[in-house]
Amino acid sequence: MAAQGRLAGSPPPFRKALLVISLSGVGVDIGARTLFSDVSLRFPPGRRVALVGGNGAGKTTLLNVVVGNREPDRGIVSRPKDLRIGWLPQDVVDAVGESGTVLDHVLEGASHILRYEHEMRDLERRIETVDEAEQERLLNHYANVQDRFQQLGGYEVEAEAHRVLAGLGFAPDDAARSTGELSGGWRVRVALARLLLAKPDLLVLDEPTNHLDLDTIAWLEQTLHDLPGGLLFVSHDRDFIDGVADRIVELAAGTAAEYTVRGGTTAAEQGGFASFVAQREDRLAQLRAAKSQQDRQLAQAERFIERFRYKASKARQVQSRIKAVDKVDRIEIPDHRQLVARFAFPQPQRSGRVVAELSGVSVRYGDNQVLDGVDLAVERGRKVAMIGPNGAGKTTLLRLLAGSLTPDTGTVELGHNVDVAVVDQHQAEVLDLDRTVVEEFRTALQERHRDVNHRSMLGAFGFPGDLADRKVGELSGGERTRLGLAKAMASPVNLLLLDEPTNHLDLASRDVLEDALDAYPGTVLLITHDRHVIRGVADAIVEVGGGRARWFDGTYEELQWRRDAEPGPGRSAPSGRSGAAPGGRGGGGADDKRRAAESRNARHRATKDLRREVGRLEDELTRVEQRVAELTRELADPGVYGDPDRVKALVAEYGQAKDRAAGLLTAWEDAQTRLEQAEAALD
């Protein structure tokens, strides 16, 4: 079982074979409900898989099956004994603990390397105290241990730990701090740094970007892209998925579908996520056609049954068709209907031209000067995204505008007729769990708006029909967040303050948020680290950091273009804690990005045939392993042994399938090795 934020397995220093985890025909039940079934996946070195799906589809459960924290109810998980798995769950905070320094915790990720250093220190002490013959033997052993330590990068481990910490936003002196001084979000970064330093065979991450700022997310994208092992992660951030994943697995309607999203016209022009959507639509069209044909055949069989059900001369044919209909594996079309609908918000009163203004505002928390002489004015109708590193003062600015915080110096003024609503990160925690969704929603409406069509508006936020009558306590975390958003945005206010509203929202719910903000008639100030949401909503950006708040009158795309156009030395992050570490995405400009893209394309073309062979072998191996799993289930059924011929045929086919799987695995490992050698030759 993989520990939270830690590594499972302890490998020998050198491997003779590729270590691959695979799932064949895996299914999980929650009570009487089948969460998912017939999931078959493989995670070879270098493969980066994004797992997507709606809230409650079973993504976290599937991750727990992969890492070994939960056994599947059906199917087979093949997990080599020496496989090292790195696991970062959402609730990793407590696993970090409150004792020890940040650096000590991070270095635990390299314990499989540092054990050789401890052995070297022990040998050094022993060499000084033994006779000459024993000393020669120990010196030879010391040389072997030192070679292993050096080949594993032992002498660079601590420097690498500092590099990873810098990339995740830690200042140089933070390495010596006790983890007990850190907030939950920074402890998550410590756990992530420990796993990145470990470089496991398979790294499994559950929503790793939830506590990261934009610069750190960009650094993490590059770091994960360059990891030597496999990667499986859950994320609802389209840009992050585009930057990291080469495959997307979608859990929907109780099954998993896998899509390759690196390469191809759509992926090249629009990004990997757009490629996934296009492929999914093609697959759904094929499923609909197959289901239509199946429905016609079933209808024909049922008409025959009804017509001749009571005719003795047709009894055998009728029974035969009844059995055939019962055995049909019905084709189900995954439900990908969007949650979005038309939004009709209560019209708020018209505010003055200037909605909010800060003049010379300063705020200090102890020795930390968060804001220092900030001047900022927001005009009516603007949709403003506030970006910057964690701790830079974004939430402080919102609290000042909401009136829940008073500045140490300066003034905060709201304009004429301004009404404010706030949606913060803990909005879902103040809901009444005993009320129904519609009852809770009504509490947000002012008396003059009681005649608003509650159910129509709730439907727009993803609570159509009977879902509006569910108890709030029965909702998932993402659904409660959506309800909190609906309450805030249904109020007739003209200034909406949103602090990380996308946390725990799935992709469809984030689309709801974007559409709602686009239709919202008032002014919006938004804190989010989801670049897709910023791009879709904001018409102005405020960069917060270093005590300042800098206004950029344009879109996020235009801001990024301006940053890329600036020369490397002149570029700087809003705060010293947010800069990319050496080796990360710190600068280089548009020319460097173009050259890097050309290099990647040349590399892809040079290895195209090998990649195609590896993919073909993987697909065939997956099919054979799935058949092995099916045969295993059939042979486990006591009822089958009443038919000796059937048993004999099953055993023969099982043996052939096992031999075929072994041969395919050997061929795949050979092809994968040749691909890695070809890629190494191009580096």
Q: Which of 414, 407, 405 is nearest to 379 (CA)?
A: 414
**Domain match, 537 and 664 both:** no
**Domain match, 613 and 510 both:** no
Q: How many CB atoms lie within 10 A of CB 343?
A: 19
**Domain match, 571 and 620 both:** no
pLDDT at 402 over 80: yes
**Domain match, 213 and 142 both:** yes
Q: Which residues contact 292 (CB under 8 A, 6 or more apart)?
A: none
pLDDT at 103 over 80: yes
533 belongs to a structural domain? yes
Burial of 442 (0-12, 13-18, 19+ CB in 10 A): middle
398 belongs to a structural domain? yes
pLDDT band at 584 (very low <50, low <70, confident <90, very high): very low
**Domain match, 105 and 24 both:** yes
Look up residue 388 and give its DSSP letter. -
Map residue 131 onto helix, strand or coil: coil
674 belongs to a structural domain? yes
- The CATH number of whichever domain residue 145 belongs to comes to 3.40.50.300
**Domain match, 552 and 619 both:** no
pLDDT tens digits for range 216-256: 898 999 889 888 889 999 998 888 998 899 899 999 878 89
What per-residue confidence (pLDDT) applies to 526?
Answer: 94
- The CATH number of whichever domain residue 616 belongs to comes to 1.10.287
pLDDT tens digits for range 352-382: 889 999 999 999 998 889 999 999 999 999 9
pLDDT at 16 over 50: no
Burial of 403 (0-12, 13-18, 19+ CB in 10 A): exposed
Cα–Cα distance, 214 to 212 (Å, whole number):
7
pLDDT tens digits for range 440-466: 888 877 544 555 567 877 887 778 888
What per-residue confidence (pLDDT) applies to 14?
Answer: 43
Structurally, how many domains does the chain consist of? Answer: 3
Map residue 223 onto helix, strand or coil: helix
What per-residue confidence (pLDDT) applies to 601?
Answer: 55
**Domain match, 639 and 567 both:** no
**Domain match, 542 and 639 both:** no
The three state secondary structure string of 442-483 is: HCCCCHHHCCCCHHHHHHHCCCCHHHHHCEHHHCCHHHHHHH
Computed over every residue of the chain, the mean pLDDT equals 80
pLDDT band at 538 (very low <50, low <70, confident <90, very high): very high
378-401 core/surface letters (b: 16 or more CB in 10 A; e: else)? bbbeebbbbbbbbbbbbbbbbbbb
Q: Which of 415, 406, 423, 641 is nearest to 520 (CA)?
A: 423
What per-residue confidence (pLDDT) applies to 2?
Answer: 53
Domain with 621, as residue range(s), is 607-682
328 belongs to a structural domain? no
56 in the Ramachandran plot: left (φ > 0), alpha (ψ -120 to 50) or beta? left
What per-residue confidence (pLDDT) applies to 302?
Answer: 84
Above pLDDT 90, what percent of the chain? 21
Which of 193, 225, 253 is the C-terminal boundary of a domain?
Answer: 253
Q: Which residues contact 582 (CB under 8 A, 6 or more apart)?
A: 163, 166
Which of 524, 555, 575 is the C-terminal boundary of a domain?
Answer: 575
**Domain match, 513 and 452 both:** yes
602 belongs to a structural domain? no
570 belongs to a structural domain? yes
Strand ranges inside 124-192, DSSP E = none
Measured in degrees and rounded to the nearest 5, phi and psi for residue 303 equal: -65, -40
Q: Can you tell me the mean pLDDT for 310-337? A: 75
What per-residue confidence (pLDDT) applies to 374?
Answer: 93
326 belongs to a structural domain? no
Q: Can you tell me the mean pLDDT for 293-310? A: 82
**Domain match, 545 and 627 both:** no
**Domain match, 512 and 635 both:** no
What per-residue confidence (pLDDT) applies to 590?
Answer: 46
Please give the structure tokens belonging to residue 592. 């460097």
pLDDT tens digits for range 633-650: 777 666 767 777 787 787
Largest CA distance in the chain: 101
Please give the structure tokens belonging to residue 18. 């590729």
Bridge partners of residue 383, in order along the sequence: 524
**Domain match, 368 and 443 both:** yes
